[in-house]
Structure 1
Amino acid sequence: MSSTVQERAPRARWPYWPLLPAAILFAVLFLIPVGEVAVWAVRDDAGWTLAALRTALADGPYRAILINTVSLSAIVAAACVALGYPVAYFLAARTPRQQRLLLLFIMTPLWISVLIRTYSWIVLLGREGLINSLVKVLGLSDAPLHLLYTRGAVYAAMIQVLLPIAVLTMFSSMSAINRSLLSAARILGASPRQAFVAVFLPLSAGGAVSAGILTFVLALGFFITPALVGGPRDMMISNVIAQQVSETLDWSLAAALGITLLMTGLVIVGIVSLALRRFTQLNAEGGSR
């Protein structure tokens, strides 16, 4: 009897088949193009060579620009998390109707082109821009302030572009936290600050780290913003890659720089992920609704 039931029982399906379309798209749109770029990095007209990779990794201007790109992206990501966390926390504590209205305001900048938003900073920070005009009217300075083509302008423009993404990422994580845990901590004698630090902050740390990683990876590839509002010292590796492709026509070096940037990002994200797993205690059991 038992053998008959076993024979009639349907075979278990492969549990990962819903991921197959996404895996195919990932392979076609990412793995194959990146593999082709990797081949360009180690091959030129003369054949296989590591000259382009040596140039990209050598102690010189390209390494300095790569370090500048990583440091600038890390600062922007940290600023986005620091500025976006209170906004996401406030948003998660609102009623559903209020959340829908506030989310509309947060997502509105995402509907506008990054190019247009970057040009708006030129209007604000230029010598005849809105800020300098206001400073002149108020009599705070006779000479125009040097605001454009500075590192501060690059920080402001990049944070403005990436901040909504950080807020939405952290809000998604905070919305899944069971608020009754904070009430339970208060009942047990914790102050509002102690309840936040001991309960809410550890449960929302994963979302904050995810937002930081996402904004960091996106900032690594920024091209338009530093080119328009930054100075020569604010050049990022994407600008150099574009120069190699369009001006010097050195596709091997451009590919080597691109692969170097990709591997650097993967290594940093991997280290951060391992550090999060090693040094934080995120126990989601009972913490979600």
Structure 2
Amino acid sequence: MTMPDVSVRAERIAPAAPAAAPGAFARALRWRYWPLLPAALLFLLVFVVPVGEVAIWSVRGEAGWGLSNVQQVVADGPFRTILGSTLRLSLTVGVACVAFGYPVAYFLTTRTPRQQRLLLLFITIPLWVSVLIRTYSWIVLLGREGLINSLVKAWGLSDTPLHLLYTRGAVYAAMIQVLLPIAILTMFSSMSSINRALLSAARILGATPGRAFLRVFLPLSASGAVSAGVLTFVLSLGFFITPALVGGPKDAMIANVIAQQISETLDWGLGSALGMTLLVVGLAVVAVTGVVMRRFTSLSSEGGTR
């Protein structure tokens, strides 16, 4: 009977040597965020760098560094008035897009997939047309010799043309028409992920259709509605063509004033200060809205998606 090999037993008992530490390239491959690098570089090049340059222009003038341009914007005067008007108009457009688009998005969720595709095609058709062309169509529709005034005159409702163009109402109508498809698509995407079985469960437990909608579906879809409102609000802040063509002098938005400062008066410092002020105010409104609405939508959305 042979004795076991002591060296073999020692190899089995001895712990294995630690593996070599991975190199920098291997660690980089295992970094979970590396797929975001292309988007981060693009964001840095096309947003951070240009906005940083504009921010420098806003605080640097011929006399050196200073806040004179920013003080001129926030001081009580025409610039602050136009900024407030822009914020009110954008908030109104955002709320109106959510109010008009929510029923449409909800209706889409109740249709069959084939009907949804057909209806979504009709909703997205306006997005294929240039904003400039859609704005000119409102001029044709609301002008003194436009379609509405022609019908009013033909039906004998009024002898004088209605003053519809170059008003705040025309600006609202044109901007809502441009942004409404975006709001509908945003809310429809959120509503499509809601578990419809929860509505059936509410009906089984005795809730009426209206009560099931208010207590189940509406809270679950609130986050999507808020996202649509914030998105349309942010897009409204930068509107330039539509207010310039269908609005009056009192309906000028801050983007029109920035273009005037850059192209006509050649005051790049004041135009940059206006742009940075609009950016900061817009970010502040979005941040406050997100914090406030998160309190009401975070808990209600848990467990409601499919």
Please tell me the TM-score bracket, short chain as reference: over 0.9
Of 111, 119, 139, which residue of structure 1 is paired with 2:128? 111
What residue is the counterpart of 2:193 in the other structure?
176
What residue is the counterpart of 2:144 in the other structure?
127
Shift of 1:277: 1.7
Moved over 2 A (4+): 1-12, 278-286
For 1:76 and 1:88, the matched residues in 2 are separated by 17
Specify whether residues 43 and 6 from structure 1 end up closer, same or farther in structure 2 by C-alpha distance, changes over 3 A only: same
What residue is the counterpart of 1:250 in the other structure?
267
Q: Which deviates more from structure 2 when the two are superposed, residues 4-13 or residues 122-131? A: 4-13
User: Can you give the 5+ residue segments of structure 1 that lack an aligned partner in the other structure?
Assistant: none
1:45 equivalent to 2:62? Answer: yes
Of 185, 188, 193, which residue of structure 1 is paired with 2:202? 185
1:80 equivalent to 2:108? Answer: no
What residue is the counterpart of 1:219 in the other structure?
236
1:230 equivalent to 2:236? Answer: no
For 1:109 and 1:120, the matched residues in 2 are separated by 12
| Aligned-residue RMSD, C-alpha | 1.8
Shift of 1:281: 4.7
Amino acid at match of 1:212: G
Q: Is the 8 A contact 2:219 2:301 kept in 1?
A: no
Specify whether residues 4 and 162 from structure 1 end up closer, same or farther in structure 2 by C-alpha distance, changes over 3 A only: farther
For 2:183 and 2:225, the matched residues in 1 are separated by 8
Amino acid at match of 1:66: L
Amino acid at match of 1:202: P
For 2:130 and 2:300, the matched residues in 1 are separated by 39
Q: Tell me the SS of whatever aligns to 1:99.
A: helix
What residue is the counterpart of 2:153 in the other structure?
136
For 2:202 and 2:17, the matched residues in 1 are separated by 51
Q: Is the 8 A contact 1:206 1:282 kept in 2?
A: no
Shift of 1:282: 3.6
- The alignment-based identity, stated in percent, is 71
For 1:223 and 1:252, the matched residues in 2 are separated by 20
Q: Tell me the SS of whatever aligns to 2:30.
A: coil
Shift of 1:47: 1.4
Q: Is the 8 A contact 2:220 2:297 kept in 1?
A: no
Specify whether residues 6 and 232 from structure 1 end up closer, same or farther in structure 2 by C-alpha distance, changes over 3 A only: farther
Amino acid at match of 1:107: T
Amino acid at match of 1:134: L
1:64-120: per-residue Cα shift (whole Å, max 9, x none)?
000000000000000000000000000111111111111110110001000000000
Q: Tell me the SS of whatever aligns to 1:166.
A: helix
Specify whether residues 42 and 91 from structure 1 end up closer, same or farther in structure 2 by C-alpha distance, changes over 3 A only: same
What residue is the counterpart of 2:225 in the other structure?
208
Q: Is the 8 A contact 1:77 1:216 kept in 2?
A: yes
Shift of 1:286: 2.4
Larger Rg: 2
For 1:6 and 1:198, the matched residues in 2 are separated by 58
Specify whether residues 114 and 6 from structure 1 end up closer, same or farther in structure 2 by C-alpha distance, changes over 3 A only: farther
1:22 equivalent to 2:39? Answer: yes
Amino acid at match of 1:175: S
For 2:268 and 2:78, the matched residues in 1 are separated by 18
For 1:222 and 1:264, the matched residues in 2 are separated by 16
For 1:98 and 1:106, the matched residues in 2 are separated by 12
Specify whether residues 5 and 277 from structure 1 end up closer, same or farther in structure 2 by C-alpha distance, changes over 3 A only: farther
Q: Tell me the SS of whatever aligns to 1:255.
A: helix
For 1:140 and 1:282, the matched residues in 2 are separated by 53
Q: Which deviates more from structure 2 when the two are superposed, residues 43-52 or residues 123-132? A: 43-52
